[in-house]
Amino acid sequence: MIRRFPGMKWCFCVFLLAASCGVHGQAQGHEGHRWWNASLRQKQVKLEADLLRASSSEKIREDHDLFCDEPHVAGTPGDHRIIKELASSFEEMGLEPELQELHLYLPLPVEAHLSIVRGPGESGPHPGDPPVELVLQEAAVKGDPYSRHPDLTFGWNAYSGNGDVTAEVVYANRGTKEDFSRLASLGISVKGRIVIARYGGNYRGYKAKFAEEAGAAGLIIYTDPKGSGYRAGLTYPEGGYANDTYIQRGSIKTLPYQGDPLTPFEPSTENAKRLDPDSTGLPTIPVQPIGYRAAGEIISRMRGKLAPRDWHGALPFTYHLTGGPELRVRLKVVQERKIRRTANVLATMRGSKYPDQKVIIGCHFDAWTFGAGDPNAGTIVLYEAARLLMAARKQGHVFERSIVFANWAAEEQGIIGSTEYCEANRDDLVANALCYLNLDMAAMGTNFGSSSSPLLKSVIADTTGVVPQAGKLGVMVQEPWLRGQSTPRFGNLGGGSDHVGFYCHLGIPSASMGAGGSAGVSYHSNYENLAWYRKIVGDDYEPAVMVSRLVAVAGSRLSNATLLPFDPTQVPRDLSTHLSALQNRADGVGLAWPEKEAGVFSDAIVALQEASQKFLESGLQALQLDQLDAESTALMNDALMKLPRAFCLDEGLPERPWYRSFFASSDPDSGYSAWMLPALRYQVEKGNRAGLARELLRHGAMVSRLSESLTRVQAATAQKMSKN
Amino acid sequence: MIRRFPGMKWCFCVFLLAASCGVHGQAQGHEGHRWWNASLRQKQVKLEADLLRASSSEKIREDHDLFCDEPHVAGTPGDHRIIKELASSFEEMGLEPELQELHLYLPLPVEAHLSIVRGPGESGPHPGDPPVELVLQEAAVKGDPYSRHPDLTFGWNAYSGNGDVTAEVVYANRGTKEDFSRLASLGISVKGRIVIARYGGNYRGYKAKFAEEAGAAGLIIYTDPKGSGYRAGLTYPEGGYANDTYIQRGSIKTLPYQGDPLTPFEPSTENAKRLDPDSTGLPTIPVQPIGYRAAGEIISRMRGKLAPRDWHGALPFTYHLTGGPELRVRLKVVQERKIRRTANVLATMRGSKYPDQKVIIGCHFDAWTFGAGDPNAGTIVLYEAARLLMAARKQGHVFERSIVFANWAAEEQGIIGSTEYCEANRDDLVANALCYLNLDMAAMGTNFGSSSSPLLKSVIADTTGVVPQAGKLGVMVQEPWLRGQSTPRFGNLGGGSDHVGFYCHLGIPSASMGAGGSAGVSYHSNYENLAWYRKIVGDDYEPAVMVSRLVAVAGSRLSNATLLPFDPTQVPRDLSTHLSALQNRADGVGLAWPEKEAGVFSDAIVALQEASQKFLESGLQALQLDQLDAESTALMNDALMKLPRAFCLDEGLPERPWYRSFFASSDPDSGYSAWMLPALRYQVEKGNRAGLARELLRHGAMVSRLSESLTRVQAATAQKMSKN
Contact B233 A318 (CB under 8 A): yes
Contact B230 A306 (CB under 8 A): no
Q: What is the mean pLDDT of residues B337-357?
A: 98
Q: Among all residues of chain A, which has the CA nearest to that of B122?
A: A142
Mutate: best of B300, B317, B321, partner A, most A CBs <10 A: B317
Q: What pLDDT was estimated at residue B7?
A: 34
Q: Note whether A527 and A516 are same-domain residues.
A: yes
Report chain B residues whose CB lies below 8 A from the CB of A312. 231
Q: What is the mean pLDDT of residues B672-691?
A: 95
From the list A241, A315, A318, which residue is nearest B316 (CB)? A315
A10 falls within a domain: no
* Total residues found in chain A within this entry: 724
Q: Look at residues B338, B357, B372 and tell me which one is the last residue of a structural domain.
A: B338
Contact B349, B389 (CB under 8 A): yes
Strands B163-167 and B157-158: unpaired
Checking if the pLDDT of A1 tops 50, the result is no
As a whole number of angstroms, the distance between CA B444 and CA B482 comes to 19
Q: What is the mean pLDDT of residues A640-661?
A: 96
B656 falls within a domain: yes
Q: Return all residues near A666 (Cβ < 8 A) that are at least 6 apart.
A: A494, A495, A496, A500, A504, A659, A672, A673, A674, A675
Mean pLDDT, chain B, rounded, equals 93
Q: Among all residues of chain A, which has the CA nearest to that of B318?
A: A230
As a whole number of angstroms, the distance between CA B279 and CA B277 comes to 5
Q: Note whether A188 and A283 are same-domain residues.
A: yes
The pLDDT tens digits of the residues spanning A295-305 come to: 999 999 999 89
A15 falls within a domain: no
Band (pLDDT 50/70/90 cuts) for residue A484 is: confident
* Domain ranges, residue B690: 570-723
Q: Note whether B366 and B272 are same-domain residues.
A: no
As a whole number of angstroms, the distance between CA B7 and CA B9 comes to 7
> Residue B165 forms beta bridges with which residues?
B331
Q: How far is A124 from chain B (nearest CA, A)?
A: 15
Q: Among all residues of chain B, which has the CA nearest to that of A310?
A: B231
The pLDDT tens digits of the residues spanning A64-100 come to: 999 999 999 999 999 999 999 999 999 999 999 999 9
The pLDDT tens digits of the residues spanning B294-316 come to: 999 999 999 889 999 999 999 99
* Total residues found in chain B within this entry: 724
As a whole number of angstroms, the distance between CA A643 and CA B46 comes to 85
Q: Note whether A459 and A594 are same-domain residues.
A: no
Between these two residues, A6 and B590, which has the higher pLDDT value?
B590
Tell whether omega for the bond before B375 is within 30 degrees of 0, i.e. cis. yes
Q: Note whether B92 and B141 are same-domain residues.
A: no
Strands A510-516 and A433-438: parallel
Taking residue B279's Cβ as centre, other Cβ atoms within 10 Å add up to 8
Q: What pLDDT was estimated at residue B92?
A: 96
Q: Note whether B203 and B308 are same-domain residues.
A: yes
B581 falls within a domain: yes
Q: What pLDDT was estimated at residue A724?
A: 66
Contact B231 A318 (CB under 8 A): yes
A528 falls within a domain: yes
Taking residue A529's Cβ as centre, other Cβ atoms within 10 Å add up to 27
CATH number for the domain that contains residue A48: 3.40.630.10
Band (pLDDT 50/70/90 cuts) for residue A28 is: very low
Q: Note whether B211 and B306 are same-domain residues.
A: yes
The pLDDT tens digits of the residues spanning A620-633 come to: 999 988 888 999 99
The DSSP line for A247-263 is ---EE----SS-S-TT-
Report chain A residues whose CB lies below 8 A from the CB of B306. 233-234
Contact B225 A312 (CB under 8 A): no
Contact A231 B315 (CB under 8 A): no
Q: Note whether B254 and B306 are same-domain residues.
A: yes
Mutate: best of B226, B231, B244, partner A, most A CBs <10 A: B231
Band (pLDDT 50/70/90 cuts) for residue A119 is: low
Report chain A residues whose CB lies below 8 A from the CB of B318. 230-231, 233-235, 239, 241
Report chain B residues whose CB lies below 8 A from the CB of A315. 316
Count CB pairs under 8 A between chains A and B: 32
> Of A41-55, A118-132, B547-561, B613-627, where does mean pLDDT reach its minimum?
A118-132
Contact A314 B316 (CB under 8 A): yes
Q: Note whether B330 and B372 are same-domain residues.
A: no
The pLDDT tens digits of the residues spanning A664-705 come to: 999 988 777 899 999 999 999 999 999 999 999 999 999 999
Mutate: best of A306, A311, A317, A322, partner B, most B CBs <10 A: A317
| Phi, psi values for residue B320, rounded to 5° | -110, 160
Mutate: best of B318, B319, B321, partner A, most A CBs <10 A: B318
CATH number for the domain that contains residue B617: 1.20.930.40
CATH number for the domain that contains residue A303: 3.50.30.30
Contact B233 A306 (CB under 8 A): yes
As a whole number of angstroms, the distance between CA B474 and CA B468 comes to 7
Buried b (16+ CB within 10 A) or exposed e, A695-711: bbbbbbebbbebbebbb
From the list B230, B312, B318, which residue is nearest A316 (CB)? B230
pTM of the model: 0.85
> Residue B337 forms beta bridges with which residues?
B107
Checking if the pLDDT of A426 tops 70, the result is yes
Report chain B residues whose CB lies below 8 A from the CB of A234. 306, 318
A197 falls within a domain: yes
- Please name the amino acid found at residue A377: A
Mutate: best of A224, A228, A318, partner B, most B CBs <10 A: A318
The pLDDT tens digits of the residues spanning B530-569 come to: 999 999 999 999 999 999 999 999 999 999 999 999 999 9
Checking if the pLDDT of A473 tops 90, the result is no
Q: DSSP 3-state helix, strand, coil percentages of chain A (rounded to 5)?
A: 40, 20, 45
From the list B234, B312, B314, which residue is nearest A306 (CB)? B234
Number of domains in chain A: 3
B486 falls within a domain: yes
Checking if the pLDDT of B613 tops 90, the result is yes
Mean pLDDT, chain A, rounded, equals 93
As a whole number of angstroms, the distance between CA A84 and CA A97 comes to 10
Q: Note whether A312 and A378 are same-domain residues.
A: no
Taking residue B386's Cβ as centre, other Cβ atoms within 10 Å add up to 25
From the list B231, B234, B316, which residue is nearest A225 (CB)? B316
H or E stretch covering B107: strand B97-118
As a whole number of angstroms, the distance between CA B91 and CA B347 comes to 9
What is the three-class DSSP state of B160? coil
A415 falls within a domain: yes
Q: What pLDDT was estimated at residue B127?
A: 54
The pLDDT tens digits of the residues spanning B103-125 come to: 999 999 999 999 999 755 444 44
Q: Which residues of B touch A (CB under 8 A)?
A: 225, 230-231, 233-235, 239, 241, 306, 312, 314-318
Q: Look at residues B560, B586, B604 and tell me which one is the last residue of a structural domain.
A: B560
The pLDDT tens digits of the residues spanning B474-524 come to: 999 999 999 888 889 999 998 889 999 999 999 999 999 999 999 999 999
Taking residue A77's Cβ as centre, other Cβ atoms within 10 Å add up to 12
As a whole number of angstroms, the distance between CA B609 and CA A458 comes to 62
From the list A231, A315, A316, which residue is nearest B312 (CB)? A231
Report chain B residues whose CB lies below 8 A from the CB of A239. 318
Q: Note whether B546 and B580 are same-domain residues.
A: no
Band (pLDDT 50/70/90 cuts) for residue B54 is: confident
Q: How far is B536 from chain A (nearest CA, A)?
A: 15
Report chain B residues whose CB lies below 8 A from the CB of A225. 316
Taking residue B277's Cβ as centre, other Cβ atoms within 10 Å add up to 13
Q: Look at residues B314, B338, B362 and tell me which one is the last residue of a structural domain.
A: B338
As a whole number of angstroms, the distance between CA B325 and CA B293 comes to 22
- Please name the amino acid found at residue B279: S
Q: How far is A184 from chain B (nearest CA, A)?
A: 22
Q: Return all residues near A601 (Cβ < 8 A) that are at least 6 apart.
A: A579, A696, A697, A699, A700, A703
From the list A234, A239, A316, which residue is nearest B315 (CB)? A316
Q: Which of B136, B503, B478, B445 is nearest to B289 (CA)?
A: B136
> Residue B196 forms beta bridges with which residues?
B171, B220
Q: Note whether A608 and A645 are same-domain residues.
A: yes
ipTM beyond cut 0.90: no
Q: Which residues of A touch B (CB under 8 A)?
A: 225, 230-231, 233-235, 239, 241, 306, 312, 314-318
Contact B178, B186 (CB under 8 A): no
Q: What pLDDT was estimated at residue A39?
A: 85
Give me the helix-helix angle, A689-723 and A570-588, nearest 10°.
170
As a whole number of angstroms, the distance between CA B54 and CA B17 comes to 8
Q: How far is B13 from chain A (nearest CA, A)?
A: 50
Band (pLDDT 50/70/90 cuts) for residue A18 is: very low
The DSSP line for B402-467 is EEEEEEES--TTTSHHHHHHHHHTHHHHHHHEEEEEE-TT-BSSSEEEEEE-HHHHHHHHHHHTTS
